A and B are shown apart, each in its own frame.
Chain A
Amino acid sequence: MSGVVPRQEPTLADVPGMGSPVPPPAMDKPQGPWKTAGKRFVRNPYAMGGLAVLLFFAIVAILAPVIAPYEPDKIDFMNTNLPPGTKGYPLGTDELGRDIFSRLVYSSQISLTVGFSVAAAAVLIGSLVGAVAGYFGGWIDTILMRLVDVMNSLPSLFLNILVLSIFGSDFIYMVLVLSFTGWMGVARLVRGTFLQLREMQYVEAARATGVSSWGIMFRHLLRNSSHPIIVNATLMVGSAILSESALSYLGLGIQAPETSWGLMLSNAQEFMLVDPLQALYPGLCILIIVLAVNFIGDGIQDALNPREKKTFSARRLRQWRNKYSKSTG
């Protein structure tokens, strides 16, 4: 990743509720908007690089049993703390004699699963809440938006830790709690679009022909939020991966004998004096994968809205900041 200095203006990949909805595809154009966006995406070297890296990790995760020379939890007291480069152990072993390379490989499964399931679940919850709030408006909207305010006021890392300490550190709970603290951005996006569009004539026409409210919401209106949702979901994959590693590092996420990059880091910190290199690999993996996901997200953003304003108002900056600052600290 040496040449990553972006030549183009790096977008901050943010669209929430701003500007006009995506215009309907012009009739005289031979290609649909998705296709043109796809072309623009392919021409963006950072986005494509990110995609390649992500695919690489996905393949590694799927083929983990083939690639990894050992089981990730195989303890071998005869071979503890081997240095990197030892024959048979490319990155050495940890204090229990577990092969670090195998553990790294298997950990990618956890990270990717958490990342994508959290993004999917959060988009699901967020779209549902946002759609209902924006479509029905009135007191339903007020209640749901206050709920969003409440969730935004609760410190998400603390909330994650709290829930996991109560319910126990389980993979499913972790995915649930990360989605539970991550859906608000999507809800706001969707609500914003719905508020703008619900009075449009085509909605009225659909209603007149007898389409139910849910049909209008999910068949007709939700499509108009698809662009920002996709961008938001992509970036959420990255932040979920970061959160997972943080929780596992703190001892509240993935538990041994399972393995995860965050868990490996907490282990490595304990044995820092013995093997300083141990801490390097898992962190690098997290960094690279999240970087890749963010490049993809920004690439999609650029591809979908090439003329999107590159600078933005304070309000949008705030939304953007909320999104990125989830895992700082």
Chain B
Amino acid sequence: MTEYFIRRIIQSIVVLFLVTVVTFAIIHLAPGGPTEVLVAPGLSPEAFEVQKRNLGLDQPAHIQYVRWIGKLLQGDLGKTFKNSVPVGELLWPTIGNTFVLMGAAWLVAMVIAIPWGIYNSTREYGLSDQTASFISYLGFAMPTFWFGIILQQYFSLKLNWFPLSDMWTMGKKGDIGDLLMHLVLPVCVLSLAFLAYYVKYSRSSMLEVLQQDYIRTARAKGVRENRVIFRHALRNALIPIITIIGLDLPMLVSGAALTENVFNWPGMGRLFVDMAIAREYNVLMAIVMVTSVMVVIGNLLADILYAVADPRVKLGRKGGDTA
């Protein structure tokens, strides 16, 4: 077990290292590379060279990479090209904002979807099951940002129930009630996306367990159905649901780029899009890195949680990474 964990951790570190290489390469392989953003109208070639040198962009790519990663390891994410704002100052508050939004959406989805899926597993193909599956299909096929726009039009422009966009009303920053009102619509949008597969997830996880022999044994010896479901089956069905918690952790900071843009939510996804249009590569690299770190940690946690929670999981080299 320990050996497996250590191997997974080393693997994760290697993956993260490669992620930095890939991200860096994409930016520097581009025609013109990051320097292109410095070209401003009316900038003399001399001034351009000075600017380039100041930002260290005159060095060969591998030297720039080593410098960048050296700083990254010390927690220095660099500065923006324009205005020289430290990237961290831009980034950290938005992570918090995204976390609030996604956390809320995720909680809502979990609270609705898991019990619903479990209920549906006991009444396969019933009305509720079919509704859930209909909603899942919709959730998978619907462009989330479109759903957001439709909700905005109906519930804030027409009915005026909820604010149109942003996180706070002007001058009301810090007011929890105001925040909650702003949360309703984006949370609706995002939780539908989560809900779409959580319902299926918990349903099939439960069905898988209900087919096991020990459930049949429990029923055969006369255990009441409720007890079979809640005492015998649910515990094992929850194990894969635990894994998804780990897997979805990274989404809590990264998963809302589109919704954030629709609702003008000051989160990381919106920052990314803004910075991509402004071509602030330091910010972009930092965000990609933060997200990738979260993904890798999430995967690692999911594997570890799963292994700890379910002793039947075979840990071994073989087939360990076939999936």
A: residues with CB less than 8 A from B are 4-7, 9-10, 12, 16-17, 145-147, 149-155, 157-159, 161-167, 188, 191-192, 195, 238, 242, 245-246, 249-252, 262, 265, 268-269, 272-273, 276, 279-280, 282-283, 286-287, 290-291, 294-295, 310-321, 324-325, 327-329
Contacts and interface: CB of A to CB of B under 8 A. Distances in A.
A34 B262 CA distance: 45
A279 B149 contact: yes
Contacts of A280: 150
A10 B133 contact: yes
B279 A283 contact: no
A276 B152 CA distance: 10
Contact of B208 (A9, A12, A312, A329): A312
A320 B203 CA distance: 14
Interface string B299-323: 1001000100000000000000111
Interface stretch (B89-97, B175-183, B218-226, B290-298): B290-298
A9 B193 contact: no
Interface in B211-258: 211, 239-240, 243-244, 247, 250-251, 254-258
Contacts of A313: 208, 240
7 contacts: A159-B288, A246-B145, A272-B152, A286-B143, A318-B247, A319-B323, A321-B201
B204 interface: yes
A294 B244 CA distance: 23
Given A149-B15, A165-B276, A291 B153 contact: no
A165 B279 CA distance: 7
Given A10-B133, A311-B207, A153 B200 contact: no
B148 to A, nearest CB: 9
A5 to B, nearest CB: 5
A145 B321 contact: yes
A270 B157 CA distance: 13
A158 B288 contact: yes
B146 A265 contact: yes
Judged by DSSP, the binding face of B is helix
B27 interface: yes
Contacts, number: 224
A273 to B, nearest CB: 7
Contact of A157 (B22, B244, B257, B279): B257
Nearest to A6: B133
Contact of A328 (B152, B193, B207, B296): B193
B244 A329 contact: no
B30 interface: yes
A167 B30 contact: yes
B146 A310 contact: no
A311 B124 CA distance: 12
Interface stretch (B55-63, B78-86, B134-142): B134-142
B150 A17 contact: no
A144 to B, nearest CB: 11
Nearest to A152: B295
Contact of B22 (A154, A273, A320): A154
B261 interface: yes
A195 B321 CA distance: 12
A321 B130 contact: no
A149 to B, nearest CB: 5
A154 B288 CA distance: 7
Interface in B86-133: 124-125, 130-131, 133
Contact of B200 (A12, A294, A319): A12
B125 A9 contact: yes
Interface string B13-30: 011101100110011001
A108 to B, nearest CB: 15
Given A265-B146, A282-B146, A287-B146, A4 B137 contact: yes
